[in-house]
Structure 1
Amino acid sequence: VTDACGLKQLNAERSVPLRLASEYINIADKYARDNHLGMYRIIPTWGASEAFLPEDADLLIENAQTGRTIARHNLKVIDTLFESTACLIGSANGVFNADKGARIKSITETLRAAVEDI
């Protein structure tokens, strides 16, 4: 299966509902409906969702940063639903407070270093 059309065709041949695992149950439900996947069941997950495949789920909607975990579990991306950006958001009051400003700067530097390591 390489795309949503292939999923629809595959699911049409099945007699049991497609098992769709995700932390994002509303997004998973909308994806299944928008792509007319036929019978499906959403499996809510938390944490290491990729572990559900293939025994406990047929598909996974997951937020992936690098794709390394997907590759490590021998999985394949069929469709990209969103592109996202992570943001650190704080109040202006915190930035102008010397103590809070120093902590915010430290957190920002730690996050930037982590992103550069990816």
Structure 2
Amino acid sequence: MDKQTAQKVLSHPKFQKMAAQKAVLGWLFSAVIFTVYVAFILFIGISPQVFATPVAPGSVTTWGIYVGLFVIVFSVVLTGVYVYIANGKFEQATREVVREVMEIEK
């Protein structure tokens, strides 16, 4: 694809709308993950004894292990959801715009 075609794709209204939606989704997911991490760190700082509480009496595993694992798994899952959406809906929109631009050029 040459520069002129690329510029037409980038300036296409459908592509710009898709890029804006993708940016909003990315920032939204980033804000959610950031909020979860900040809440986790704040809770550790404010009430560390809760994370040190064993899950069951006599157990070695504490709630902190499970909450920490949740934060990690949540981040991975949310990233996976973003990638799924970006590679599905957004990629399809990009292909449609490229197809439209290429047809106009012929």
User: Quick one: higher RCO (CA 8 Å, sep 6+), 1 or 2?
Assistant: 2
Please state which structure has a larger fraction of its residues in strand.
1
**Larger Rg over CA atoms:** 2
- Give the TM-score range, shorter chain: under 0.3
TM superposition score normalised by structure 1? 0.25
